[in-house]
Amino acid sequence: MSAAHQALRTAEVTGRRIEVIALEQTADTSYSACGIPYLVGGQVDSADQLIARSADEHRRLGVDLRMGTTVTGIDRDRHVVTATTQFGDPQQIDFDQLVLCTGAQAMVPDWARDAHGELIGGVHPAKTLADARYWLDLIIGSGRRGLVVGGGYIGLEMAEALAERGFDTTLATRTRVMSKLDPEISDRIEAGLTAAGVTVCTDTTIASARVEDGRIRSVTTLAGQEIPADVVVLALGVSPSTGLGAAAGLPIGAHGGYQPDDHQRITESIWAAGDCCESIDRMTGDWLYAPLGTHANKQGRVCGFNLGGDDSKRFAGVLATAITRFASGPTYLEIARTGINSQVAARFGYDAITLITESNTASGYMAEAAPITVLLTADRTTRRILGAQIIGGAQSGKRIDTVAAALWGRMSVDDLAEMDLSYAPPFATVWEAVQLAARRVAERI
Amino acid sequence: MSAAHQALRTAEVTGRRIEVIALEQTADTSYSACGIPYLVGGQVDSADQLIARSADEHRRLGVDLRMGTTVTGIDRDRHVVTATTQFGDPQQIDFDQLVLCTGAQAMVPDWARDAHGELIGGVHPAKTLADARYWLDLIIGSGRRGLVVGGGYIGLEMAEALAERGFDTTLATRTRVMSKLDPEISDRIEAGLTAAGVTVCTDTTIASARVEDGRIRSVTTLAGQEIPADVVVLALGVSPSTGLGAAAGLPIGAHGGYQPDDHQRITESIWAAGDCCESIDRMTGDWLYAPLGTHANKQGRVCGFNLGGDDSKRFAGVLATAITRFASGPTYLEIARTGINSQVAARFGYDAITLITESNTASGYMAEAAPITVLLTADRTTRRILGAQIIGGAQSGKRIDTVAAALWGRMSVDDLAEMDLSYAPPFATVWEAVQLAARRVAERI
């Protein structure tokens, strides 16, 4: 919808005459998928609050939005998509330019399905608003043992949601918690989860499920361990929904996503934006799959500008910046990252140094002071910052943006150590945490 | 002391043989001056907590620290300083290299002194630890009417301290509150002060004081208004303490401070660091007086590196980044700035655009969401960001660092709008507040 509205706004400026049709398969549009764990956890009162714009609002702003419409094929030669409505009526819709914003789908392992290919009762992902409604219904009448499969962002957030709902919660992950971070940070997250009463099973792959009366009872790991569970959240990540494009012969990347150019264009008449796309990682120059709302919004906007007649707008790539928190019981942890970790740095041939620096979010004598751990990776050759990870208490996570800005400008650890950042006792130490980390790395290169 | 310790550490690496003597006039060393308002306000329990390092700790680390020693003159030819101890003993101390770290002194208007030139009882600045002790003693037995003269950072913080101590508090400022910010931001701060029960008198200059039994009773403004007061905090700013250097013929800048080169060197054998120095404003290239702990620490460190034999270290200038808060009663405001405001931009010939953008610190549906106002100034010609000001609720102020990093890298509003910043519902909106502000400015240039 970012693409749709930006195209209309830009066309008004450029004078290009356009008509925007938007086809949406589900009954929901423009909601915050990132808010779902907080809805399930009870911090957000109702699903309505997650909806940014209703279908009618989109229509009032000039988009011909057709809900409940499933696209079944793309005829690239005839410039036509075929679709069926929710009532099964076949449709043909002409286009001059087609934008694929088909998003991503939650990964579902084989053991989570029954003989008919349907999800076992009590086993479900947490990606869409429909998923959220499933969980809200289920969570009330369920037993009290919850299992989260997957240790990434959604896994962590859904573990918080289950724990906050009073579930006896287990988190199982194939390697370690938040495995895209460095191991030292994963260890700290695991300790925080454990302190909050969450049982963490690392290096654990689920192999099968035991079902009774159509409902999940337990899962069994590859190692033969049985984990009882009344509900199982599938948080194994998402994969780009590119089936339509693949069937139409569009090229698909190694991560399964579209690989549009920096105008978000794939072919002369086909574009793509959002979670169905891979993005260029500015740190490696390589394609990366980073399905985040921030990128989706920016890509949609770039797409809209171009479709509306302003081809000066480009998508500049990603740093894989992300933030989350885990807050339950005695644990309050903010977790954030930007750039590449030490393993990726090594893989791309950097002579990297990685250092962990512990400090405080505020002057030690202030009540606001909370611990903050900054892991910083830099290139010894160029002294350029390659990435950072932060874990800490309140007000720690958002400091990742300072490093992200430095990464965006391809700055060195010296730049970050020298720059003029803000200090007052309730907000920082005199050497701001990320700056102290940069200074220590600079001294060791 | 940053300079002293860094010199010793660097000399160990370079093999330079050095001996470091430090002369301190007062009985206090290495304390957080920025913490004083929180000590006076009662958020910090004791003055000891503000002390970062005791005199003995400094000595154990190798600095020959001589407390209670007042330097009375510098003989540049003979490389000698004359001094007196607290017992009145005259001293002569030889030096090869001399570092002036004499700091700054609170500005005291004429009306605040009695016929003997002494401060009127109940009228006092809030700069040194001795000042803090004065206030801690006074605040207990005093009447309940407090006046803060000055609307800058210390004025605001001391208004909070008095209000939190239960004083009926008035803040009087010659122009407006926080006059180095743009007027729209000052207005918002004034509204927050007023909501907290602080009476704000703008465009108010104090002309005289009424004293009874050696204690302040009231002050009278230039306009003839009498403001009753049992205690008066002088928060009119500070001026660099450069009397010693001036007497020795060292050049003094327009703001009254030393103007060392980027090694912090003034002459072949004299250096300076901290609040007695002016700094180069990276946005204007001009000298600026920005007496902040962050710069003092960095300058001291640069000085120490050079004195220890590593002349590769330089001080890179300032952006005048700063942060504070006002938290009392129903008001909780974080206030931050970096770079130049619209008036300074105009004065330096920029064709500047300034825009105010209101958004949220978190997704609207989260309890963490607080309002945040971002004022962003940019150059229409180069599209470069010139400065930013932030005012808002919890977690708003520190976002200034993201803009400071962008300013440090001389980035454009487009860079800031495009960069990959962190988002999750408890921490930001999908278009992060500073990024949304940049996007809006970019669209309007």
Neighbours of A421 (CB within 10 A): 27
Tell whether A60 is covered by a domain. no
How near does any CA of chain A get to the CA of B366, in Å? 6
pLDDT at A294 over 70: yes
Do A99 and A248 lie in one domain? The reply is: yes
Do A93 and A133 lie in one domain? The reply is: no
Per-residue model confidence (pLDDT) at position A108:
97
Partners of residue B335 on adjacent β-strands: B324, B391
Do A427 and A372 lie in one domain? The reply is: yes
User: What mean pLDDT is predicted for residues A25-33?
Assistant: 92
pLDDT digits (tens, 9 = 90+) for A247-260: 999 999 999 999 99
A409–B415 CB contact, under 8 Å: yes
Tell whether A253 is covered by a domain. yes
Per-residue model confidence (pLDDT) at position B381:
97
B325–A408 CB contact, under 8 Å: no
Do A78 and A116 lie in one domain? The reply is: no
- How far apart CA A433 and CA A398 sit, in angstroms, is 12
Tell whether A155 is covered by a domain. yes
Q: Which residues of A touch B415 (CB under 8 A)?
A: 408-409
ipTM of the modeled complex:
0.94
Give CA A42 to chain center in angstroms.
21
- How far apart CA B444 and CA B355 sit, in angstroms, is 9
pLDDT at A284 over 70: yes
- Sequence-ordered list of residues with C-beta below 8 angstroms from that of A166, at least 6 positions apart, any chain: A144
How near does any CA of chain B get to the CA of A354, in Å? 21
Tell whether B201 is covered by a domain. yes
Closest CB from B367, B398, B406 relative to A422: B398
- How far apart CA B255 and CA B289 sit, in angstroms, is 6
Closest CB from B398, B405, B432 relative to A395: B398
Scanning B282-421, the segments in alpha helix (DSSP H) are: 293-308, 342-347, 400-408, 413-418
How near does any CA of chain A get to the CA of B407, in Å? 9
- How far apart CA B7 and CA A442 sit, in angstroms, is 17
Supply the Cα-derived Rg of chain A in whole angstroms: 23
| CATH code at position B352 | 3.50.50.60
The residue out of A258, A274, A308 marking a domain boundary is A308
Number of domains in chain A: 3
Closest CB from B319, B397, B398 relative to A399: B398
The residue out of A236, A267, A295 marking a domain boundary is A236
How near does any CA of chain B get to the CA of A279, in Å? 12
Q: Which residues of A touch B320 (CB under 8 A)?
A: 420
Tokens of A423: 């200090």
Q: Which residues of B touch A2 (CB under 8 A)?
A: none
B420–A294 CB contact, under 8 Å: yes
Tokens of A154: 């959604």
Q: Determine the 3-state secondary structure of B238 from DSSP.
A: strand
B424–A318 CB contact, under 8 Å: no
Mean of the per-residue pLDDT values of chain B: 96
Per-residue model confidence (pLDDT) at position A280:
98
Do A408 and A429 lie in one domain? The reply is: yes
The residue out of B197, B219, B236 marking a domain boundary is B236
Per-residue model confidence (pLDDT) at position B99:
98
How near does any CA of chain A get to the CA of B134, in Å? 20
Do B132 and B207 lie in one domain? The reply is: yes
pLDDT at B281 over 90: yes
Per-residue model confidence (pLDDT) at position B92:
97
Q: Which residue does chain B place closest to A367, by CA atoms?
A: B43
| φ, ψ (nearest 5 deg) of residue A422 | -80, 145
pLDDT digits (tens, 9 = 90+) for B208-245: 999 999 999 999 999 999 999 999 999 999 999 999 99
Do A373 and A294 lie in one domain? The reply is: no
- How far apart CA A76 and CA B416 sit, in angstroms, is 37
Partners of residue B99 on adjacent β-strands: B271
pLDDT at B313 over 90: yes
pLDDT digits (tens, 9 = 90+) for A199-233: 999 999 999 999 999 999 999 999 999 999 999 99
Per-residue model confidence (pLDDT) at position A141:
62
Exposure string of B227-259, with b = 16+ CB inside 10 Å and e = fewer, is bebbbbbbbbbbbbbbebbeebebebeebbbbb
> How many helical (H) and strand (E) elements, i.e. helices and strands, does chain B have?
12, 24
How near does any CA of chain B get to the CA of A79, in Å? 32
Closest CB from B32, B321, B363 relative to A420: B321
Per-residue model confidence (pLDDT) at position A139:
82
Do A250 and A217 lie in one domain? The reply is: no
Do B367 and B428 lie in one domain? The reply is: yes
Q: Which residue does chain B place closest to A434, by CA atoms?
A: B401
Per-residue model confidence (pLDDT) at position B141:
62
**CB-CB contact of A235 with A155 (8 Å):** yes
Q: Look at residues B27, B230, B221, B74 and name the one whose alpha carbon lies nearest to residue B147.
A: B230
pLDDT at A245 over 90: yes
Mean of the per-residue pLDDT values of chain A: 96
Tokens of B403: 């803009």
Q: Which residues of A touch B419 (CB under 8 A)?
A: 316, 319, 404-405, 408
B419–A402 CB contact, under 8 Å: no
pLDDT at B143 over 70: no
- Given pLDDT bands bounded at 50, 70 and 90, which one contains residue A158? very high
pLDDT digits (tens, 9 = 90+) for B376-401: 999 999 999 999 999 999 999 999 99
Within 13 Å, how many C-alpha atoms sit on residue B63's CB side?
23
Do A117 and A224 lie in one domain? The reply is: yes
- Given pLDDT bands bounded at 50, 70 and 90, which one contains residue B139? confident
- How far apart CA A407 and CA A434 sit, in angstroms, is 13
Instruction: Mutation target for B interface from A401, A410, A429: give the one with most B CBs within 10 A.
Output: A401
A409–B404 CB contact, under 8 Å: no
Amino acid, single-letter form, for residue A320: A
Supply the Cα-derived Rg of chain B in whole angstroms: 23
Tell whether B34 is covered by a domain. no
- How far apart CA A345 and CA B163 sit, in angstroms, is 52
Range of the domain at A8: 2-27+67-104+239-308
pLDDT digits (tens, 9 = 90+) for A354-373: 999 999 999 999 999 999 99
- Sequence-ordered list of residues with C-beta below 8 angstroms from that of A238, at least 6 positions apart, any chain: A104, A105, A106, A107, A127, A275, A291
Per-residue model confidence (pLDDT) at position A296:
97
Do A74 and A95 lie in one domain? The reply is: yes
- How far apart CA A384 and CA B180 sit, in angstroms, is 34
- How far apart CA A276 and CA A289 sit, in angstroms, is 9
Of all residues in chain A, what percent carry a pLDDT higher than 70? Answer: 99
- Given pLDDT bands bounded at 50, 70 and 90, which one contains residue A138? confident
Tell whether B39 is covered by a domain. no
Per-residue model confidence (pLDDT) at position B140:
72
- For the packed helices A400-408 and B400-408, what is the interaxial angle rounded to 10 degrees? 20
| φ, ψ (nearest 5 deg) of residue A112 | -85, -5
Do A338 and A252 lie in one domain? The reply is: no
Q: Which residue does chain A place closest to B439, by CA atoms?
A: A298
Per-residue DSSP letter, B406: H
Q: Which residues of A touch B421 (CB under 8 A)?
A: 294, 321, 401, 404-405
Q: H or E element: which one contains B217?
A: strand B215-221
How near does any CA of chain B get to the CA of A418, in Å? 7
Tell whether B11 is covered by a domain. yes
pLDDT at A142 over 70: no
Per-residue DSSP letter, A314: -
Q: Which residue does chain A place closest to B410, by CA atoms?
A: A409
Tell whether B32 is covered by a domain. no
- Sequence-ordered list of residues with C-beta below 8 angstroms from that of A393, at least 6 positions apart, any chain: A332, A333, A334, A361, A370, A371, A372
User: What mean pLDDT is predicted for residues B328-349?
Assistant: 96
User: What mean pLDDT is predicted for residues B66-77?
Assistant: 97
